[in-house]
Amino acid sequence: MTSNNKAINLKNQSSTAQEQLNNFKDHLLDPQARELANQVQWQYLKGLSKDKTDLYPVAILGEGPPLLLLHGFDSSFLEFRRLVPLLINHHKLLIPDLFGFGFCPRPKDAIYGLEGLIFHLNKILDVLIQESSVGLIGASMGGAIAMELARSNPDKINRLLLLAPAGLTGSKLYIPRPLDRLGVCFLRQSFVRKGLCRQAFADPNHNVGAPEEQIASLHLNSPGWGRSLAAFARSGGIANCGNPLPKQPLHVLWGAKDKILNETQKKESITLLGDRIEELEECGHLPHLDLPKIVAEKWLKSCQINE
């Protein structure tokens, strides 16, 4: 049994996402991912948590002005493992799993769509950010969610950096039953996970191995993963979140070798965002994994933080 399979097969030993992450984290192949997983704090969120044991994960580390980081579709907080070491000395980093994704609890009667995502993030802001304002970095789908969150919190969020944002334009795509479940079954297949992982990087032959493939699939074992993902598909997903633009300072980075965003999405984003977009060479759909140093430098410069 490989180390990757050993971590995945631990699912039979636990019944909650918290227990699973605690079991999985020591078997993560990526040392930066292991370090980040050890910084998770489990939060009671009034209005979401049913009791004191129903807790939501947020990796919290570093000191300084607070910075909230939002991962992309069907991913987890581990997506930011390479960016964290570059920002930890400048910010208090708050990295939650988005509601319905990662290692979050997945209540059966919850709303899995934009409304539920924003409700969950507002609860995190209420609990963890009482006085000061917060910076915001959103990747892929997390970029679109960041736009909506910033519009609804103009005084609490001070600036945004979007990394290959997806869902800024277009229309929602409502997936009816039973196609929602068929889509979930498709996304669960190991060859699909591997293919999507490789597609997200600019140079998968050099930058994708067992650690990246493990992290891309680890959260699939969380209780309710398929059910919540199917509900998210029925909700229409995330679309048309870019307009109107939030009033806060906004910058966008995307990769010249992005194979996830199609040409229509790119053209519509250019129309919407104009010169706020900066294209990075030798970069795919994950600037924070392909070029984390450049992403950190761009963010710190925008905040006028000296190295």
Domain containing residue 106: CATH number: 3.40.50.1820
Within-domain flag for 104: yes
Averaged pLDDT score across all residues of the chain: 93
Within-domain flag for 187: yes
pLDDT at 243: 96
Per residue in 94-107, pLDDT (tens digit) is 999 999 999 999 99
Within-domain flag for 307: no
The mean pLDDT of 3-7, rounded to a whole number, is 42
Within-domain flag for 85: yes
Per residue in 25-74, pLDDT (tens digit) is 999 999 999 999 999 999 999 999 999 999 999 999 999 999 999 999 99
pLDDT at 130: 81
> Over pLDDT 70: what percentage of the chain?
94
Q: How many domains does the chain have?
A: 1
User: Which domain covers residue 35, as residue numbers?
Assistant: 3-302
- Residue 139, classed as helix, strand or coil, is strand
Bridge partners of 162, per DSSP, are 138, 252
The residue written with tokens 């001070």 in the block is 158
Encoded tokens for 138: 């959103």
Within-domain flag for 261: yes
- What is the distance of C-alpha 109 from the center of its chain? 23
Within-domain flag for 83: yes
Within-domain flag for 202: yes
Give CA–CA dist 165/163, Å, rounded.
5
pLDDT at 14: 54
Is it the case that residue 2 has pLDDT exceeding 90?
Answer: no
Per residue in 124-141, pLDDT (tens digit) is 999 999 888 999 999 999
pLDDT at 1: 34
Supply the DSSP symbol for 11: G
Are residues 248 and 150 in contact, defined by beta-carbon separation less than 8 angstroms? yes
Per residue in 218-276, pLDDT (tens digit) is 999 999 999 999 999 999 999 999 999 999 999 999 999 999 999 999 999 999 999 99
